[in-house]
Amino acid sequence: MGNAFIYESLLKKGGLASTTNRLSVLEVIGNSTAPLTAQDVFETLRRSRHVNRVTVYRILELLVEKKLLERISGGDRAFRYGMGGKAGQKNHPHFFCTGCGSMECLRPESIHFDMAAFVRTFTGEVEKVEVRIDGLCKNCLKMKQKSE
Protein backbone atom coordinates (compact mmCIF):
# COMPACT_ATOMS: atom_id res chain seq x y z
CA MET A 1 0.00 0.00 0.00
CA GLY A 2 2.21 2.81 -1.29
CA ASN A 3 -0.23 5.60 -0.48
CA ALA A 4 -1.10 4.33 3.00
CA PHE A 5 0.25 7.45 4.69
CA ILE A 6 -1.83 9.71 2.43
CA TYR A 7 -5.01 7.74 3.11
CA GLU A 8 -4.29 7.63 6.84
CA SER A 9 -3.86 11.42 6.77
CA LEU A 10 -7.16 11.81 4.93
CA LEU A 11 -8.98 9.70 7.50
CA LYS A 12 -7.42 11.77 10.28
CA LYS A 13 -8.48 14.97 8.47
CA GLY A 14 -12.02 13.58 8.41
CA GLY A 15 -11.88 12.79 12.12
CA LEU A 16 -11.96 9.03 11.50
CA ALA A 17 -9.91 6.19 12.88
CA SER A 18 -7.65 4.50 10.36
CA THR A 19 -9.01 0.96 9.90
CA THR A 20 -7.87 -1.61 7.36
CA ASN A 21 -11.24 -1.58 5.58
CA ARG A 22 -11.41 2.23 5.36
CA LEU A 23 -7.85 2.40 4.06
CA SER A 24 -8.61 -0.32 1.51
CA VAL A 25 -11.73 1.46 0.22
CA LEU A 26 -9.80 4.73 -0.16
CA GLU A 27 -6.97 2.91 -1.93
CA VAL A 28 -9.29 1.21 -4.43
CA ILE A 29 -11.04 4.47 -5.30
CA GLY A 30 -7.85 6.54 -5.18
CA ASN A 31 -6.09 4.19 -7.59
CA SER A 32 -8.94 4.16 -10.09
CA THR A 33 -8.88 6.39 -13.15
CA ALA A 34 -12.70 6.63 -13.15
CA PRO A 35 -15.45 6.75 -10.52
CA LEU A 36 -16.48 3.31 -9.25
CA THR A 37 -19.78 1.82 -8.14
CA ALA A 38 -20.07 0.33 -4.67
CA GLN A 39 -20.21 -3.08 -6.37
CA ASP A 40 -16.94 -2.33 -8.20
CA VAL A 41 -15.27 -1.44 -4.90
CA PHE A 42 -16.66 -4.55 -3.19
CA GLU A 43 -15.56 -6.90 -5.99
CA THR A 44 -12.07 -5.38 -6.10
CA LEU A 45 -11.61 -5.80 -2.34
CA ARG A 46 -13.10 -9.30 -2.34
CA ARG A 47 -10.41 -10.50 -4.77
CA SER A 48 -7.70 -10.04 -2.18
CA ARG A 49 -9.47 -10.72 1.12
CA HIS A 50 -12.76 -11.39 2.88
CA VAL A 51 -14.88 -8.27 3.23
CA ASN A 52 -18.57 -7.83 3.95
CA ARG A 53 -20.66 -6.04 1.30
CA VAL A 54 -22.62 -4.09 3.94
CA THR A 55 -19.35 -2.93 5.51
CA VAL A 56 -18.19 -1.54 2.15
CA TYR A 57 -21.48 0.34 1.68
CA ARG A 58 -21.31 1.78 5.20
CA ILE A 59 -17.71 2.90 4.71
CA LEU A 60 -18.58 4.56 1.40
CA GLU A 61 -21.45 6.47 3.02
CA LEU A 62 -19.26 7.52 5.96
CA LEU A 63 -16.48 8.74 3.67
CA VAL A 64 -19.01 10.73 1.60
CA GLU A 65 -20.44 12.24 4.80
CA LYS A 66 -16.91 13.32 5.81
CA LYS A 67 -16.32 14.69 2.26
CA LEU A 68 -13.36 12.37 1.66
CA LEU A 69 -15.29 10.81 -1.23
CA GLU A 70 -17.92 12.24 -3.50
CA ARG A 71 -21.04 10.38 -4.61
CA ILE A 72 -21.73 10.89 -8.32
CA SER A 73 -25.06 10.19 -9.95
CA GLY A 74 -24.92 7.75 -12.83
CA GLY A 75 -27.37 7.63 -15.71
CA ASP A 76 -28.25 4.08 -14.70
CA ARG A 77 -29.47 4.82 -11.14
CA ALA A 78 -26.21 3.54 -9.64
CA PHE A 79 -24.02 5.95 -7.73
CA ARG A 80 -20.30 6.09 -8.43
CA TYR A 81 -17.65 7.16 -5.96
CA GLY A 82 -14.56 9.27 -6.50
CA MET A 83 -12.14 11.16 -4.30
CA GLY A 84 -13.75 14.17 -2.63
CA GLY A 85 -12.89 17.77 -1.92
CA LYS A 86 -11.07 17.09 1.34
CA ALA A 87 -8.86 14.71 -0.61
CA GLY A 88 -7.81 17.62 -2.83
CA GLN A 89 -9.95 16.57 -5.78
CA LYS A 90 -11.08 19.50 -7.92
CA ASN A 91 -14.74 19.59 -8.85
CA HIS A 92 -15.04 18.32 -12.44
CA PRO A 93 -17.69 17.06 -14.87
CA HIS A 94 -18.22 13.41 -15.80
CA PHE A 95 -19.24 11.56 -18.95
CA PHE A 96 -21.64 8.62 -18.59
CA CYS A 97 -21.95 6.14 -21.47
CA THR A 98 -25.58 5.11 -21.91
CA GLY A 99 -24.41 2.10 -23.92
CA CYS A 100 -21.99 0.29 -21.62
CA GLY A 101 -22.55 2.16 -18.34
CA SER A 102 -18.97 3.35 -17.96
CA MET A 103 -18.22 6.72 -16.42
CA GLU A 104 -15.13 8.82 -16.93
CA CYS A 105 -13.80 12.01 -15.41
CA LEU A 106 -13.55 15.03 -17.66
CA ARG A 107 -11.06 17.82 -17.20
CA PRO A 108 -12.40 20.68 -15.04
CA GLU A 109 -11.85 23.19 -17.85
CA SER A 110 -13.77 21.11 -20.42
CA ILE A 111 -17.04 22.77 -19.36
CA HIS A 112 -17.39 26.30 -18.09
CA PHE A 113 -19.90 26.93 -15.30
CA ASP A 114 -20.12 30.52 -14.07
CA MET A 115 -20.80 29.94 -10.39
CA ALA A 116 -20.59 33.66 -9.59
CA ALA A 117 -23.38 34.44 -12.08
CA PHE A 118 -25.47 31.59 -10.72
CA VAL A 119 -25.07 32.73 -7.10
CA ARG A 120 -26.17 36.26 -8.06
CA THR A 121 -29.51 34.90 -9.30
CA PHE A 122 -30.05 32.12 -6.76
CA THR A 123 -31.07 32.93 -3.20
CA GLY A 124 -30.32 29.54 -1.61
CA GLU A 125 -27.08 27.95 -0.48
CA VAL A 126 -25.21 25.73 -2.94
CA GLU A 127 -23.65 22.63 -1.36
CA LYS A 128 -22.55 20.78 -4.47
CA VAL A 129 -22.47 21.22 -8.23
CA GLU A 130 -22.55 18.03 -10.26
CA VAL A 131 -22.30 18.04 -14.05
CA ARG A 132 -22.80 14.82 -15.99
CA ILE A 133 -22.90 14.48 -19.75
CA ASP A 134 -24.64 11.37 -21.10
CA GLY A 135 -23.98 9.81 -24.49
CA LEU A 136 -22.04 7.01 -26.16
CA CYS A 137 -18.36 6.42 -25.50
CA LYS A 138 -16.07 5.89 -28.48
CA ASN A 139 -16.26 2.08 -28.16
CA CYS A 140 -20.06 1.99 -28.06
CA LEU A 141 -20.23 4.50 -30.91
CA LYS A 142 -17.99 2.23 -33.04
CA MET A 143 -20.22 -0.76 -32.20
CA LYS A 144 -23.33 1.20 -33.13
CA GLN A 145 -21.82 2.32 -36.44
CA LYS A 146 -20.81 -1.27 -37.29
CA SER A 147 -24.34 -2.54 -36.70
CA GLU A 148 -25.98 0.12 -38.88
pLDDT of residue 62: 97
pLDDT of residue 112: 86
Q: Indicate the CATH number of 90-147 among 3.30.365.10, 3.40.190.10, 3.30.1490.190, 3.30.70.1350.
A: 3.30.1490.190
Binding-site residues for Zn(2+): 97, 100, 137, 140
User: Each residue's pLDDT tens digit in the chain (148 positions)?
Assistant: 457 678 999 999 899 999 999 999 999 999 998 999 999 999 999 999 899 999 999 999 999 999 999 999 988 888 999 988 666 677 788 999 999 999 998 888 888 888 888 888 988 988 888 889 999 999 999 988 988 8
- Cα separation, 63 vs 147, whole angstroms: 43
- Sign of the C-alpha dihedral, residues 45, 48, 52, 58? negative
Query: What crossing angle do the helices spanning 20-30 and 4-13 adopt, rounded to 10°?
Result: 110
- CATH code for 1-82? 1.10.10.10
Binding-site residues: 97, 100, 137, 140
Domains of the chain, by residue range, sit at 1-82, 90-147
pLDDT of residue 1: 40
